[in-house]
Amino acid sequence: MKKWHVGMIGSGIGIGQKLEGIEYAPYYLRSRHLVDHLCDHKIAVNDYGDVNVHVKDIFESYERLSNLCRRSSLRNQFTAIFGGDHSHSIGSIFGLKKQNPQLKVLWIDAHGDINTPKTSPSGNLHGMPLAALLGLFDLNRVGHMDWFHPVLQPSDVALLGVRDLDSGEKEVIENLKLPCFDVEEIRDIGMASALDIILDRMDPQGTSPFHLSIDVDCLDGSEVKATGLPVPKGFFRNELEQFVTQIQKKRKVTSIEVVEFNPNLAMEDQQWVPIADFIADLFRLVIANELRRFLNTQDPTKVYNKNIPSQQAAVLV
Ligand SMILES: [Mn+2]
């Protein structure tokens, strides 16, 4: 039987911000069976392991992540990256886009992440990845990243769920005419209509593959404690699942990353567990939706049952 190939990459890159704990995200997410529950007779999982930060050259980790994403994008039908702070998208999206020049990016986040070193109030790199990918500043001024060059055009990006923008970010989003909707706007218009507006603008032919770059802080602050910068008025978990499914009904999604999960911030009473389980469920949902497309069936029984973990081991590469 023809198998559908999924590449899984863990990211422990947390140097884009100042709180400790993101480096453990891949370990904690794996402990909730994020990877092994995906194994199924219809899916071959290629587990690329975790990218960690080396003390010798902290910026080398971004290049390593970008190379793994590029390799996975070449070899697998789908690539899933879990953990990391959002600055790791400098590596992940660079690699994915190099392999797949038509790729479009939906940035699902409470924040714009489109500051430059000049406009950023905090100076944290996880507030700048979109600006770096769009070429709004020279990344080599921040760290040694000679391998990097901007890969995104303004027409490649939309921001969704954004509701906490710095003044410099508002200006640049306006100047570049980036589609940008907060959660309440999406609710007002309706998810399907909001997506029609955005997707028709980004990809009028409907032929481009999409990458979902999901910051867990797109969720309502009351729903997620295990993240550094929670913001109110976000998506509820079931809404985010519906939203992602709507996206997949309209366009083909070839990769996803879920970032900014910090278990250290919710150790008390193991409050990190529900959000880790939610992230694992979200990966399963997105992968099941794309598998359904691959198998060309709408019958959910033909897609694997997430409640029955398979005994089959992950295929290591
Ligand atoms: Mn972010």
CB 287 within 8 A of CB 39: no
Q: Report CA(37)–ligand 1 centroid distance (Å).
A: 27
pLDDT of residue 308: 37
- Closest by CA position to 208, among listed 245, 176, 250: 250
Residue 249: its H or E element: helix 237-250
pLDDT of residue 307: 43
- Band of the pLDDT at 117, cuts 50, 70, 90? very high
Q: What is the mean pLDDT of residues 297-315?
A: 44
Q: What is the mean pLDDT of residues 152-179?
A: 97
pLDDT of residue 297: 61
CB 195 within 8 A of CB 212: no
Residue 302 reports pLDDT greater than 80 = no
CATH topology of domain 4-316: Arginase; Chain A (3.40.800)
pLDDT of residue 3: 85
Instruction: Report how far residue 17's alpha carbon sits from residue 32's, in angstroms, rounded to the nearest whole number.
Output: 25
Residue 304 reports pLDDT greater than 60 = no
pLDDT in tens, 34-57: 998 887 778 999 999 999 998 778
CB 181 within 8 A of CB 162: yes
Domain boundaries in the chain? 4-316
Torsional sign, CA 129, 251, 32, 52 = negative
Instruction: Report how far residue 38's alpha carbon sits from residue 312's, in angstroms, rounded to the nearest whole number.
Output: 10
What percent of the chain clears pLDDT 70, i.e. is strictly above it? Answer: 93
Q: Report CA(110)–ligand 1 centroid distance (Å).
A: 7
Please list, in sequence order, all residues whose beta carbon lies within 8 angstroms of the beta carbon of residue 98, skipping any fewer than 6 positions away: 66, 70, 151
Please list, in sequence order, all residues whose beta carbon lies within 8 angstroms of the beta carbon of residue 249, skipping any fewer than 6 positions away: none
Is this model's pTM higher than 0.95 or not?
no
Q: What is the mean pLDDT of residues 90-102?
A: 98
Q: Report CA(165)–ligand 1 centroid distance (Å).
A: 11
Q: Report CA(201)–ligand 1 centroid distance (Å).
A: 23
Please list, in sequence order, all residues whose beta carbon lies within 8 angstroms of the beta carbon of residue 120, skipping any fewer than 6 positions away: 127, 128, 166, 168
Q: Report CA(133)–ligand 1 centroid distance (Å).
A: 13
pLDDT in tens, 211-263: 999 999 999 999 999 999 999 999 999 999 999 999 999 999 999 999 999 99
